[in-house]
Amino acid sequence: MQKQLREIAGPLLGLILIWIFIFALAPISRDWSSVENVLENSTGSGLFIMCCGMTIALIGNCLDLSVGSIYALASVVVGQLLKAGVPIPIAVLAGLGAGALCGIVNGTIVSRTGIPTLIATLGTQMAFRGVADMIGAGVDMEQFGKTFDWLGSGLQGPLFCSAIAFLTIWFILSKTRFGYQVFAQGGNEEVARLAGIPVKRNIVLIYMICGIMAALASIVYTARVDFAYVDRGQGWELLAIAGVVIGGTSMFGGIGGVGKTVLGVLIYESIFAGLIYLHYDAFWQQVATGVVLILAVWIDHTQRRASASRRTGVNIAKKRSLWSRVGIGS
Amino acid sequence: MKRALLLLTAVVLAGCSSSSGTPAPATFNLANVTIAYSGYSTSNTYWNILGKAAATEAAAKGVKFVDVTATTNDSGIQLQAVNSELSQKPSALIIGSVDNNVFGTTIATAKAAGIPILAVDTGINDPYISALIQTDNEGAGKLIGQQICTDTGGKGTALVLGGTVGAQSGDARKKGVEETITACGLKDDGQYGNWDSATDVSLSDATIASTPDLSAIFVPHSDGAAAVAKEVSDKGKTATVKVYGFDGSAAELTAILNGTEAASIHQDNVTMGKTIVDDAITILQGGTVPQTVLIPPVLITKANAASFQ
């Protein structure tokens, strides 16, 4: 427990400092509605749910750049089905199924061909968006009714869906054999393979879970705005990675947790809202998020290097980089 | 009939400048003409309709139409697609640009090859551009601005969102709104939502929480406007915070009729798509077309929204 608290101490302190700063400089924000606004945008946009999926992907060393396109694809799949009068549960399941299918495609390409994750999911990012266009470009999909609306409106529905996403990923990572294997192969895939872990199967499962989470995120946002639209989720893969990494999950695999992701997304959304409360341009939000992201990765990198040096006496972690992780460079 | 009248008005408004192509060869045959088109993105409903209208007109005129619009609104990808198509030597090139500042080399290459370039919806600032047809975005912004002034009585603060910085159409809309609302006494809170509805919603939410006298929100694109209108309605703020949009998509029209969105702008994208193809053919035949056609915007309110459905 102490170890877990130590691990989240940095991001937690950062989040507290951000809010002290906001409350001190923007008196008008000293109100529950300001905090509620951050919670609504974290959950209602689907960003937190997408980040839950990205958490397991990054821990398992499976970078996924296609989540933004899956977000768009799931939106139009659900929109088309609801528009056709299909019952809500079936339409939602079909949307999640579309996300799962996309994940399986990603996982199969990565595990069977050995193509670096960066390239493979960059390719599928374009392909999935093309499919979404084929299904939904130029089609009006709106007015899905109050029942579906509940999933995304206000705080209750989005919080409920976010809690499901959080608990699912938390359970998988901390209570199942598969979860332990994800950490193991994320830390060192070759060692995991030699230890008998079914790495290839796990890669497919990781991408499938990530795809389902991206689809769920999309369903929540579609319900929030009450219409489906194909031009969504562009650049969201980077937001999702940022949210996860800012929380303290490692970009280099093997370390992290969905609890950290809660803090990461809250930090991201708090910076965004805080700067608006302080009447700064939205550009400053991008600058601030970029700086926090670099800091988070730098801290992670430094800790890994120090840890590796202590363990082996050799600075091997220095040799690992994001690019070697995705198969480019040594 | 309404479209024909609008276009006629627009041509008159466009002024005297005109552009003419090189004289058509004696053996000019429409069947040998290839018109290449690159729109903003295939994912955007407004552009999808415009592209389809252009393709339909090209088919009706018997010319080959090559659509190289990318799936995403990425200016780099659009530039690559346009340059690749240019290497295939089309007869004419129509661009609906994501970023109107990136086509310097493209224009030089087209000029050297004698391929006319036409712009649709968004202007490209280069004298080589043979024709531009677009909505009068700044005029449309002013129209919305006047409606905001009327609805709010010039009281409070207006959140005026732009698209991406430097995007000609979004900037013109924002400028038109801002100039008008500040003149009638409203405080202007300008931001950029990057054409992303989730960002528009987040910006609106944060501004609602931090600006007690917020009385209006302008979103420069349809997806964002409908999303913000729904969000404001969910927060129970529709009576005090009016939402204004652009493009008038089906979702927006529904919102206007429901009373959750106050007004939007109708852009005649079908006429734009059709006319730009006609202009390209006229230029290739050696004829003359107006250099700039500004289609007058039409304000959509609850009173006339049903007629656009």
For A248-282, how does the pLDDT look when each residue is reduced to its tens digit (9 = 90+)? 899 889 999 999 999 999 999 999 888 888 888 76
With tokens 């950490």, the residue in question is: A183
Sort out which chain A residues have CB atoms less than 8 A from B199's CB and list them: 282
Instruction: Please tell me the distance from the alpha carbon of residue A330 to that of residue B22, in angstroms, as a whole number.
Output: 56
Residues B225 and B121 in one domain: no
Is the Cα dihedral B26, B27, B31, B35 positive or negative?
A: negative
Q: In chain A, how many domains are there? A: 1
Domain shared by B107 and B203, yes or no: no
Q: Does A237 touch chain B (CB under 8 A)?
A: no
Q: How many CB atoms lie within 10 A of CB A87?
A: 11
Domain hosting residue B242, numbered range:
137-266
Q: Look at residue B23 and tell me whether its pLDDT is greater than 80.
A: no
Domain holding B32: CATH number? 3.40.50.2300
- Give me the pLDDT at residue B122, please: 87
User: A324 falls in which pLDDT band (50, 70, 90)?
Assistant: very low
Cβ <8 Å between A137 and B45: yes
> Does pLDDT of A325 surpass 50?
no
Same structural domain for residues B125 and B155? no
Nearest to A149, CA basis, from B229, B204, B234, B253: B234
Is A1 part of a structural domain of the chain? no
Query: How far away is chain A from the Cα of B179, in angstroms, using its nearest Cα?
Result: 19
Is A106 part of a structural domain of the chain?
A: yes
CB B173 within 8 Å of CB B138: yes
Is a pLDDT exceeding 80 seen at residue B19? no
| CATH number of the domain bearing residue A99 | 1.10.3470
Same domain, B19 and B100: yes
Q: Which of B209, B226, B234 lies at the smallest CB-CB distance from A29?
A: B209
Give which of B41, B44, B72, B160 to mutate to test A binding, by max A Cβ within 10 Å: B72
B304 domain residue, yes or no: no
Structure tokens at A279: 């009447």
Q: Which amino acid is at A212?
A: I
Q: What is the pLDDT of residue A321?
A: 45
Question: Over the Cα atoms of chain A, what is R_g?
Answer: 20
CA B116 to mean position of chain CA atoms: 21
Report whether pLDDT(A193) > 50. Answer: yes
- Closest residue in B to A278 (Cα) is B210
If asked whether residues B39 and B105 sit together in one domain, one would say yes
Q: What is the pLDDT of residues B47-59, one digit of tens each?
A: 888 999 999 999 9
Reference B248, options B273, B275, B274, B229; nearest CA is B229
Average pLDDT estimate for B103-109: 90
Cβ contacts of B87 within 8 Å, gap of 6 or more? none
Q: Does residue A122 lie in a domain region?
A: yes
Q: Could you read off the pLDDT of B70-92 as tens digits, one per residue? A: 877 778 888 989 999 988 899 99
Of the candidates A47, A142, A230, which has its C-beta nearest B43's C-beta? A230
Domain assignment present for B303: no
Write down the pLDDT at residue B11. 44
State yes or no: pLDDT of B17 exceeds 70.
Answer: no
CB B205 within 8 A of CB B278: no
What is the arithmetic mean of pLDDT over B6-33? 57
Domain count, chain B: 2
Mean pLDDT on B139-151: 96
Greatest alpha-carbon pair distance for chain A in Å reads 64
Q: Is A322 on the interface with B (CB under 8 A)?
A: no
**DSSP code for B126:** -
Are residue B104 and residue B165 in the same domain, yes or no? Answer: no
- State the average pLDDT for chain A: 88
3-class SS string, A69-82: HHHHHHHHHHHHHH
Contact yes or no for B72 and A234 at CB 8 A: yes
Q: What percent of chain A is modeled with pLDDT above 90? A: 58
Specify if B306 maps to a domain: no
**Residue A245 lies inside a defined structural domain of this protein:** yes
Residue A137 · residue A221 · CB < 8 Å: no
Q: Could you tell me if A232 lies within 8 Å of chain B, comparing CB atoms?
A: yes
- The pLDDT assigned to B20 comes to 52
> Cβ of A138 and B234 within 8 Å?
no
C-beta of residue B274 within 8 angstroms of C-beta of residue B54: yes
Section A172-193 average pLDDT: 94
CA distances from B142 to A124, B57, B78, B146, B188 (A): 42, 32, 30, 6, 14
C-beta of residue B227 within 8 angstroms of C-beta of residue B246: no
Rounded Cα gap, residues B42 and B79, in angstroms: 15
Q: Are B46 and B57 in contact (CB under 8 A)?
A: no
- Contact between B218 and B159 under an 8 Å Cβ cutoff? The reply is yes
Q: Which DSSP string corresponds to A11-64?
A: HHHHHHHHHHHHHHH-GGG-SHHHHHHHHHHHHHTSHHHHHHHHHHHHHTT---
Same domain, B128 and B152: no
Chain A: nearest CA to B9, how far in angstroms?
28
Q: Does A73 score more than 70 pLDDT?
A: yes
Within an 8 Å CB–CB cutoff, is residue A130 touching chain B? yes
**pTM: predicted TM-score of the whole model, two decimal places:** 0.79
Say if residue B207 is in the same domain as residue B289.
no
- Does residue B197 sit at the A interface (CB-CB below 8 Å)? yes
Q: Tokens in use for A133?
A: 């266009």
Report how far apart, in Å, the C-alpha atoms of B47 and of each of A3, B94, B256 are.
53, 13, 22
Rounded-to-integer distance, Cα A120 and Cα A65, Å: 9
**Mean pLDDT, residues B102-116 taken together:** 92
Query: Which chain A residues are closer than 8 Å to B250 by Cβ?
Result: 140, 142
Residue B84 domain-assigned (yes or no): yes
Please determine, for residue A313, whether its predicted confidence score (pLDDT) is greater than 60: no
Angle, helix B197-210 to helix A258-277, in steps of 10 degrees: 60
According to the model, what pLDDT value does residue A322 have?
42
Instruction: Give the rounded distance of the alpha carbon of B90 from its chain centre.
Output: 25
Tokens 């045959």 appear where?
B29
Give the residue from chain A lying closest to B235, CA to CA: A154
**How many other CB atoms are found less than 10 A from the CB of residue B238?**
18
Give the mean model confidence (pLDDT) for residues A75-79: 95
pLDDT digits (tens, 9 = 90+) for A137-165: 767 788 898 899 999 988 899 999 999 99
pLDDT at A323: 39
Sequence-distant (6+) residues with CB within 8 A of A267 are A11, A14, A15, A18, A246, A247, A292
10 Å Cβ neighbour count for A313? 8
- Distance from C-alpha of A97 to C-alpha of A86, rounded to nearest angstrom: 15
Separation between Cα atoms, residue B53 and residue B56, nearest integer Å: 5
Domain of A107 in residue numbering reads as 41-284
Residue A231 DSSP label: S
Shared domain for B120 and B155, answered yes or no, is no
Residue-wise pLDDT for B204-253, tens only, equals 999 998 899 999 999 999 889 999 999 999 999 999 999 999 988 888 99
pLDDT tens digits, A43-52: 999 999 999 9
**Lowest-confidence pick of A10-14, B23-27, B254-258:** B23-27
Q: Which amino acid is at A57?
A: A
Backbone angles phi, psi at B217, to 5 degrees: -130, 125
Which residues of chain A neighbour B208 with C-beta distances below 8 Å?
A: 37
Kindly state whether A138 is in contact with chain B, defined as any CB-CB distance less than 8 angstroms: yes
pLDDT tens-digit series, residues B222-235: 889 999 999 999 99
Whether A58 maps to a domain, the answer reads yes
